[in-house]
Structure 1
């Protein structure tokens, strides 16, 4: 039975530059890249191609030696032009110079009856061999799901509350049939339920009528759209349990694979941020170079390009590549300057969660802000203020959890909820932290301590 869950804790970061629901006319993207660093937990990637090789969309290009069954494939057809490595030969990127017309590897097609009749083993084998399996993420740990596991449930968040997040109805417009086919395949992967979280304030045009799912409605400020928050309020994870999560785009991609027999990595991404002249959506493929969307489209030259959103995204170069799981790039001013008494000087142009001296944003709850990347301070003593709990709509104590991680106290970490969170669930704590701690880095450290202990 559906639940209506109203969350009061959290905070909406209101920024200038939300993408208008139109697809822009951008220059064609020439190069694409798969970045192993996008796949948390991948430790031993094995490259299957070499520079100069020709590939099609769906051609396997690497796998993780720890989970050899799962193939990572080319998003487009073209030539492998660079295999980029960093220190100690760490694999950073595999770049592809795309063909003007995309060619696809041909895979087996499934009718609706074929999906319903197929065994779990057949569905797993098909999804792992064709490149769509990495869309499935395991909780705890936030890593690519292990096909040998069987989750107690699968969770899908049907909306995003991060700053300037794309509109899912626009991203998925006209793809409801593929989404339903993907749901049918996911039903083969678990004996439990498939939970779909939707916003409580409006009806989703694409996702609201989805047989085979239990729909629950969430309202409230960010992070109400985080799948981790939704899991916590519907079916919390205990030690020893495994659930999987997947983005609605991943469900659609599975549906396209089964229906059309191809690995279709086409996607819409939102080009957002205060430094973009015209925030719009772009039609592209996974791993596209962002240069085509940024060049000549910014208000100034001193900018920061983020693959994703300002809370959880990754800083990239202007000619960098959008992350595998991202559907947004954000362009904000670079905050490479010192501001004397910046937090004390009275202003209404800076957004703050705190009602601090000089920061008057609380007087204008609906105003949108053009913020830069300046942290306005550096790491200092860990001050316990209670503010972390006020932005975390979960029954955990973030400060104590973070201190347990820093002390490497395994028992305390487990008791305080390390199995229920990944970085994005506590990202707001980093934003409101007066002590300027790298909260998300600390959370990942704790997860890895538990995972590999």
Structure 2
């Protein structure tokens, strides 16, 4: 079964430096890092101490609020450091990797013949459960919940994001094993969205396939949920990233937790943008400096330029990221930049800007916000690029004043911070939309649960 979805509202941000579809193995990283902040609302409870020897798949910590949710080592090696911040909060776990990985054996499992309970237990014990997120709240799914549906987006529209058709090529067996397993965990459908007939997700069983077309954010799973099966109060849906399906599928086929990632190194500051095979938590310098940089004053982002996290060039890849973007740092300012025709920037407005005349032109944008933070200005621009059946400005204001009734009425159960990345990009008021939505979701979770 296939259903077409066409998104009309949105904005494609075409940037220079897209990764060429060539694949290299990144040099082996000396250290690997896990940041508990990647797992929102999770308080870690350590299982091992500094100096402990680890195999790939060994439990390092579990969630303090639910000890069934385990977090495992992506590689074999030694736990070198447990870094703590204010109030002794764990900020980073640093693992010194072995030259070659050894894996903990969880045992192979045929998902087609296994029960839902056995599948759930394997995902939890092998550390694959954190790949499964839930809406509402955009947090790691509760193991005791049952979603009305599961969503996987195999289509990317975010600027410079890794091309999933390329990244998933040759992984059909792993994808099928993962999707069959997930279909046992819901009484509803497993909805998979693709953007082309070349997607490796085409033709797989145990799924409902959707063909998606349209500008960004058509590839966001939140946009697809809104068009297929919106989340109402009291309902739960799960979401899983397409590359994480490969790790889950390999667990069922081999019994090993193989935290391998195909990462797109992209951006206008990269000399030779392309794809690298590496591991979750690896040092990004292993492949950033392998490709080389065109300039020194750059910003390295783990993730895409709209939703990613700024890291040091010697930092580590985030748990959920399959893109590293490198763009110029925007710490310079233009004289009278607000009062002259603009040809080298993207804008949905036609006031002194001309990007609308060249929709296929690619730009080398930097991180400059081109203005300072100010009160919300009502322009109507958000609605032009926001495809969900929600009033974006009103829901942002409801979050800012912590009006729970309004947040519920306006559709807060449906959204995640990434759904507002595009409205944040075009915001003339320079308001941090994603941060506002994140704080609103946290408040709802605390007060309503």
TM-score, with structure 1 as normaliser: 0.96
Question: Are positions 1:70 and 2:69 aligned together?
Answer: yes
CA contact (8 A) 1:198 1:204 kept: no
**What SS does the aligned partner of 1:452 have?**
helix
Q: Which position in structure 2 is the counterpart of 1:188? A: 184
* 1:250-281 deviation digits (Å, cap 9, x = unpaired): 22211110110100111110000000000011
Q: Which position in structure 2 is the counterpart of 1:161? A: 157
Query: Partners in 2 of 1:195 and 1:25 — Cα distance?
Result: 32
Q: Which position in structure 2 is the counterpart of 1:93? A: 92
Aligned ranges 1:417-436 → 2 under 5 Å = 417-436=411-430
Q: Which position in structure 2 is the counterpart of 1:247? A: 241
Aligned ranges 1:310-349 → 2 under 5 Å = 310-349=305-344
Aligned ranges 1:275-290 → 2 under 5 Å = 275-290=269-284
**What SS does the aligned partner of 1:24 have?**
strand
Query: Partners in 1 of 2:28 and 2:108 — Cα distance?
Result: 30
**What SS does the aligned partner of 1:3 have?**
strand
Q: Which position in structure 2 is the counterpart of 1:365? A: 359
Query: Partners in 1 of 2:359 and 2:94 — Cα distance?
Result: 44
Query: Partners in 2 of 1:427 and 1:25 — Cα distance?
Result: 31
CA contact (8 A) 1:422 1:443 kept: yes
Query: Partners in 2 of 1:343 and 1:186 — Cα distance?
Result: 51
Q: Which position in structure 2 is the counterpart of 1:18? A: 18
**What SS does the aligned partner of 2:134 have?**
strand
Aligned ranges 1:256-295 → 2 under 5 Å = 256-295=250-289
CA contact (8 A) 2:385 2:423 kept: yes
**What SS does the aligned partner of 2:419 have?**
helix
Structure 1 residue 120: Cα displacement = 1.5
Aligned ranges 1:435-450 → 2 under 5 Å = 435-450=429-444
Structure 1, unmatched stretches of 5+, are: none
Query: Partners in 1 of 2:238 and 2:17 — Cα distance?
Result: 32
* 1:115-137 deviation digits (Å, cap 9, x = unpaired): 23322111111110101111100
Structure 1 residue 343: Cα displacement = 3.0
Query: Partners in 1 of 2:336 and 2:204 — Cα distance?
Result: 53
CA contact (8 A) 1:354 1:432 kept: no
Query: Partners in 2 of 1:103 and 1:91 — Cα distance?
Result: 26
Query: Partners in 2 of 1:340 and 1:449 — Cα distance?
Result: 42
Query: Partners in 2 of 1:123 and 1:286 — Cα distance?
Result: 23
Q: Which position in structure 1 is the counterpart of 2:6? A: 6
Structure 1 residue 26: Cα displacement = 4.1
Q: 175, 193, 197: which one pairs with 1:197?
A: 193
Question: Are positions 1:50 and 2:79 aligned together?
Answer: no
* 1:125-168 deviation digits (Å, cap 9, x = unpaired): 11101011111000111100110001011011111111011111
**What SS does the aligned partner of 1:88 have?**
helix
Query: Partners in 2 of 1:86 and 1:337 — Cα distance?
Result: 32
Query: Partners in 2 of 1:41 and 1:26 — Cα distance?
Result: 32
Structure 2, unmatched stretches of 5+, are: none
Query: Partners in 1 of 2:40 and 2:162 — Cα distance?
Result: 23
Q: Which position in structure 2 is the counterpart of 1:136? A: 132
Q: Which position in structure 2 is the counterpart of 1:356? A: 351
Structure 1 residue 290: Cα displacement = 0.6
> What is the total number of aligned residue pairs between the two structures?
446
Query: Partners in 2 of 1:62 and 1:395 — Cα distance?
Result: 39
CA contact (8 A) 2:155 2:212 kept: no
Query: Partners in 1 of 2:346 and 2:384 — Cα distance?
Result: 17
Q: Which position in structure 1 is the counterpart of 2:396? A: 402
CA contact (8 A) 1:228 1:425 kept: yes
Query: Partners in 2 of 1:124 and 1:25 — Cα distance?
Result: 32
Query: Residues 264, 26 of structure 1: CA spacing in aligned structure 2 closer, same or farther, 3 A cutoff?
Result: closer
Q: Which position in structure 2 is the counterpart of 1:222? A: 216
CA contact (8 A) 2:26 2:278 kept: no
CA contact (8 A) 2:151 2:190 kept: yes
Structure 1 residue 82: Cα displacement = 1.4
